[in-house]
Structure 1
Amino acid sequence: MAVTKEQILAAADQIAAEGQRPTLEAIRQITGGSYTTISPVLNEWKAKQTSTAAPIREPAPQAVADRLAEVGAEVWSIALELANARLASEREALEKARADLEADRVEATELADRLAGQVDELQSRLASIEAAEAAARGEAGELREALTAMKERAATAEARAAELRTELDHAHQEGRQMRGERDQAQGVALERAEVIEKLRDELATARTTAEQSERRAAELRLELDRAHQDADKASQALADQQQASRAKAAELDQIKGELVKVQAKAEADQAAHQEQRKQMAQEAARQAERYTKAQADRDAARSDAAQAREDAARLAGQLQAHQEQAAALLARINPAESKPASTRKKGGE
């Protein structure tokens, strides 16, 4: 609400009645309003107060009157004129100072209005700044919370980074170990390649040996067949010898019986048949030689048969050993090639 002139004058009278000097700020505290509105009315009030003040015309004090009675009223009149002249010059100086002061006051009033506007603007800005500060404080709190969360996440990330660095170190160690194992495996592979090459050489040698063993086995089979034939012949001869031995044994038994009879007859007829006894003794000696020879022939036939059996068993053992050696070599080279060797073994048997 606008301030009226009467309100400003009443406020100035109130301040003057209280014994204080009316000022723009004092009146503004009572009525409100701007300095531009209050200043002209206050100047008008001050002008009225000055115009109502009369020149000093006081009667001389009694003491002065008594003492200046001799000088008279002329001296007093001169003094009053001097005082009035001095007062007039002072009033001129005062008017000039008042004009200067008025200009300064107008300038100060305008400056005060500008300052008041700036104060209002600053107060508005201050309110905005306070609101922004409150918002900033809220944001600062949120940022602090976010910063705390970020610090926690950073600590977690640091811990995870440490774990990852540890895992990376372990991975590097495992990589180095795996590279070492790879190099070792490559060395083993090279060694195995060399072993395979040697095994291939041994395979070729074994195949050659197997072929030689096969040829030797064929030869041994032929020898075994011949040995079997010889053994069959020896067995047949042994059977013949045994049959002959049995015949000779029967004949020998018969001869023994006859010899016993002859000896008995010779003993009975010893005296009478001395010559016949000698003949019978000679015949008995011949029969004994024939018996001894038959036993020797029988023992020789048995020895030949035993030797033939031993030769056949030895040849069969050699053939079996060669076949087993060939089968072992083939099984070492290739397990799948051991079946033909077994088949050949069965065929040889």
Structure 2
Amino acid sequence: MSQLVTPILADVRERIIQAANDLYKQAGRQSFPTVDEVRRYARVDMNAASFIMREWRRAQSVQAAPVAVHIPDAMVKANHQMLVALWTQAQELANESLRTAQSAWDTERAELDEMRQELAYAYEAQAAEFDLLKSQAADAAIAHQEAAKLAADELAGIRTELAQSLTRAERAEAQVGEIDRRAADLRTELDRAHEEIYQARSALANQQKLTLSITAESNNTKSELTKALVAAEALVEAHQEQRSIATQELDNQKKQLDQAIQSAANAREHAAELVGKFLAMQEQNAALLARLGPNNDLTLR
């Protein structure tokens, strides 16, 4: 069966021959390089390397030199027996040439068998390399899939954590808003307490003024009573008759004094009640300040 041979470019042929010569020289001209070695060295395809290597090996083989049959002049003059002997010798020489050609053909066939074996080994090596590359590609694809799945899982986890963080942040923001609202309410209550304390202080001050006024009035009353007693004693001494009148007036003054003292006592009790309310408001204010904490200290009005 004839095969269609693809034309080989001149530069490819030169590279293959140069690679074969270099490798043959490196081997000390003891053994021919293999087709696969030449293919790798020249960086060509297997078909071109095998085709050119057949030519290169054939050129390196020792060709059988043709034996020239020449009858010497002396033999022309010899007798028939000599011619027969010479013919026999010529046949032997021809047979020798045939054996030499047969040996060369056997050598070439052996080289072709060796090259065929080398091609088979090279094909198997390439197939093994291809299987290895295919296996590595499959492993790389599996590793890529696993890495992609791991990255997707990590991304999903990060998204979940981010959603949870956003939820916690929203809850914290709501709690902060609630705390701010409660703090505003507490500030309002504190301001109201401050206002009540201010009013209580004003009422206490007014009550203190009233108490001082009552005390001053009581002192004036005592002074007038003393004067009245002196005048009464003088009147008693001067006018015995008017003792009863003076006693009457003294009783009246005593009643007025008792009333004034009672009013002062009532005023003191009212002032004590106001002071108690003020102290209770102070305790409530201190409790409110304690609930607000040290960072929300408010100065009393």
Same fold (TM over 0.5): no
TM-score normalised to structure 1 length: 0.34
